[in-house]
Structures are given as structure tokens and as C-alpha cells.
Amino acid sequence: MTTLRIYREQQPDQPKVVTDDPSDIQRLLEEQGVRFEQWPTRDLPADASQDAILEAYADEVARLTDECGFQTADVVSLSADNPNKDAARRKFLDEHTHSEDEVRFFVRGQGLFYLHFGDRVYAILCQQNDLISVPDGTRHWFDMGPEPEFTCIRLFSNPDGWVASFTGEDIASRLPRYESMLGAAG
């Protein structure tokens, strides 16, 4: 279930707000300039190709591309049996920013985005059918967990794709990781 937790930076062990209501999540994220939507499910096989996934969601991708001026779209998948899963997880676990919006639509699986606004961190567990658009310049990080299972459509304004500027801050190490969040959610 999609869940949002809001932490105060000084109290990283106790979330101030916890909600799994999609309208609350959308409202709270929108207040920070973050787009959150839920798209309809498409019946796709687990091993669907990038082309098949992009074709299935062509209308939604076209709408966002027209509205936001995206240049490219691709699909990224990661499974627990991937031998590079630990390195992939580490790549995204430190706080960073981008010079473009980071847009992800979860075709399957889940992942945890942390968004850092002032003295608060919004931790949103995104799942199948969730779209999140993290505005450019927003300090954030992503945790896919130790046994990742997800497929996402990514949209980019920059044809070079994912380019991060790391902040050097240690805040990501002070908040609960994916494993703790799922334990609390379960």
C-alpha cells in the first residue's frame, strides 16, 4: 500500500504524519510542489519488454510529455536476483538533486523516495500504479531495498538521462531505511 511518512529532521525515529490515503498523499506532496498520481493498471506479463510497457502507457506518457516537455522515456527494471543489486541500491541512497524533474511511474513493484524539505523529510513508499515527479533541485534519495523488485517508466527532459549532484549531507543515513519502513507498515 502506498504510504507517506513525514519526519522532522531532529526526530528521525518518529514520523509526524503517516497516511495511506491517496488523496491525503497527493495533497501533502502537492503542497511541496511534488506531483503524485495513480494511473490505471495495464495487464502486462512480468517479463514485458520496454516497447510493450511504453506502448501500454502511451497515452499517459504522451500527456506528460506534452505538458512538461520531456524528451525521452525508458523503462528500468530490477529484481532480487540481479547480481548488481547492492551496487544499484548504493548508487541512489545518498541525498542528491537533479537539474530536471525526476519522474517515475511504477509499472510493478515498489520503492521508497525520501524528499528533504527544510527540517522535514517526506518518505513515500511508491507502489504499482503510482507516479511521482520530484521537482528539479529537490534534495532527495531513493531506497529500493535489499531485495529490489520493480519496473518503472522514467521520463527525462535531458536526453543524457539520470544525472545527479550529490549534496554530501548524511541525512539519508539517519532516517529509517526501506527494511524498517516495510516492517512498520506490515
Which residue in this structure is represented by grid cell 529484481? 79
Domain at 3-185, CATH from 2.60.120.10, 2.40.270.10, 3.30.1360.120, 3.40.50.10860: 2.60.120.10
Output the CA torsion sign for 84, 55, 154, 27: negative
Q: Is 169 annotated as a binding residue?
A: no
Listed in order, strand segments (DSSP E) in 94-149 are 96-97, 102-117, 120-127, 130-134, 139-143
Q: What is the pLDDT, as a whole number, of residue 148?
A: 96
**pTM score > 0.85 for this model?**
yes
pLDDT at residue 186, rounded to an integer: 41
96 is in an annotated binding site: yes
Q: Computed from CA positions of residues 46, 50, 53, 56, in that sequence, does the dihedral angle turn out positive or negative?
A: negative
102 marked ligand binding residue = yes
Q: Average pLDDT for consecutive 10-residue bins of the chain (186 residues)?
A: 92 86 95 97 91 97 94 93 94 92 95 96 96 96 96 86 83 92 61
The pLDDT of residue 82 is: 95
The pLDDT of residue 184 is 53
Find the DSSP H helices in 22-106.
Answer: 22-30, 50-56, 58-68, 85-92
Q: What is the pLDDT of residue 24?
A: 95
Q: Is 98 labelled a binding residue?
A: yes
* Residue 64 pLDDT: 95
The per-residue pLDDT for 10 is 85
